[in-house]
Amino acid sequence: MDYRSEILRLKEERNACIVAHFYQDGEIQDIADKVGDSFDLSRYCASTDKSTIVFCGVHFMAESAKILSPEKTVLLPAIDAGCPMADMANVEGLRKLKQKYPEAAVVCYVNTTAEIKAECDICCTSSIAEKVVKSLPHKQIIFLPDRNLGQYIAKQVPEKEFIFWAGFCPTHNALTTMHVEEARHRYPNAVLAVHPEAPPEVVDMADFTGSTKQIIDFCTESDAREFIIGTEEGILHQLHKRNPDKSFYMLRYRFICPNMKKTSMEKLYESLRDMNHEIILSEDIITRARRSLDRMLQV
């Protein structure tokens, strides 16, 4: 079957748009109406006039799209595509932290469940986390669930006191200083660009730290010709497309998020064909979680 043609046909029939994260496979990115990081996709889903959003990503991303557009149908082709880091945060534990630090603002990374977002003051993505924290008048910040991103932001905003949740991204957290040393030795002329979900000691060794979009923009605008990339290898698709004359090397072999790779052309086709794997959230969760996302979009 020619999945691409069928997907494009069904997309028009269903009045749908397809969005894909940078970590998706290249063929998924190429058929999407919008490819981006969490922040770009959040804004796009909130602004599109299509009645159906097909989200090629992981569960929390599709939930965010539903929260911002509750009147739209949001489909997640790979309904089992979760996020281990998002699952590390729980409502009961967060409520206890809020009781312990009643003066603190609660900032949650977009990589959280809708239930967690409903308990937070404001959401953030890796690209605007520093800006979000600086926008708050509070001295204390409860930051969850990613301790690595939180520690990175804390260094940028030393005037704030941070309370970190002990979560992490298993894919990025597997990076070590040994990976950096080996890559530097193998590619001595390459510039190292790393995602802030990496451990602090790895981030400290990077030439550039940023979100997926920021890494792509940095490599595209840089005069350097060689780059070592410290984030999920799906990003290579856009890097090669935009910079065919530059060389890119992964910081670690098989640097893959297994959940991001669960979306296939077949699953995308079947989801559109049957309108299945719809994201359903309660009105209460949508109302409360939307406040944190709306505040993020206003920053």
Q: Where among 169, 189, 223 does a domain terminate?
A: 169
Residues 242, 290 within the same domain: no
Closest CA to 184 of 138, 128, 228: 228
Q: Which amino acid is at 11?
A: K
In this structure, is residue 255 part of a structural domain?
A: no
Answer for the pair 126, 150: CB distance below 8 angstroms, yes or no: no
Residues 43, 61 within the same domain: yes
- Per-residue pLDDT of 65-96, as tens digits, reads 999 999 999 999 999 999 999 999 999 999 99
Residues 36, 68 within the same domain: yes
pLDDT band at 105 (very low <50, low <70, confident <90, very high): very high
Q: Where among 153, 169, 185 does a domain terminate?
A: 169
Q: How high does pLDDT run on average in the chain?
A: 96
Whether the pLDDT of residue 118 is over 80: the answer is: yes
Angle in degrees, 0-180, between the axes of helices 283-298 and 59-68, rounded to the nearest 10: 90
Answer for the pair 33, 47: CB distance below 8 angstroms, yes or no: no
Residues 222, 237 within the same domain: yes
Q: Where among 151, 169, 187 does a domain terminate?
A: 169
Residues 43, 90 within the same domain: no
- CATH code of residue 58: 3.40.50.10800
- Per-residue pLDDT of 258-271, as tens digits, reads 999 999 999 999 99
pLDDT band at 282 (very low <50, low <70, confident <90, very high): very high
Residues 78, 89 within the same domain: no
Residues 214, 245 within the same domain: yes
Token couple for 254: 């098989």
* Burial class of residue 82 in the structure, from the number of CB atoms within 10 Å of its CB (0-12 exposed, 13-18 middle, 19+ buried): middle
Q: How far is CA 123 from CA 59, 108, 293, in A?
A: 16, 5, 5
- Across the chain, the runs of DSSP E, i.e. the strands, are 16-21, 34-36, 52-56, 73-75, 105-109, 122-124, 140-144, 161-164, 191-194, 208-209, 226-230, 247-250
In this structure, is residue 178 part of a structural domain?
A: yes
In this structure, is residue 239 part of a structural domain?
A: yes
Report the domain count for the chain: 3
Question: For residue 18, what is the DSSP state?
Answer: E
Closest CA to 277 of 49, 84, 25, 62: 62
Residues 70, 89 within the same domain: no
Please state the pTM of the whole predicted model. Answer: 0.94
pLDDT band at 299 (very low <50, low <70, confident <90, very high): confident
Residues 229, 267 within the same domain: no
Residues 163, 89 within the same domain: yes
Residues 148, 175 within the same domain: no
Domain assignment of residue 285, given as a range: 3-82+260-298
Of 39-43, 209-213, 215-219, 288-292, the one with minimum mean pLDDT is 39-43
Residues 188, 264 within the same domain: no
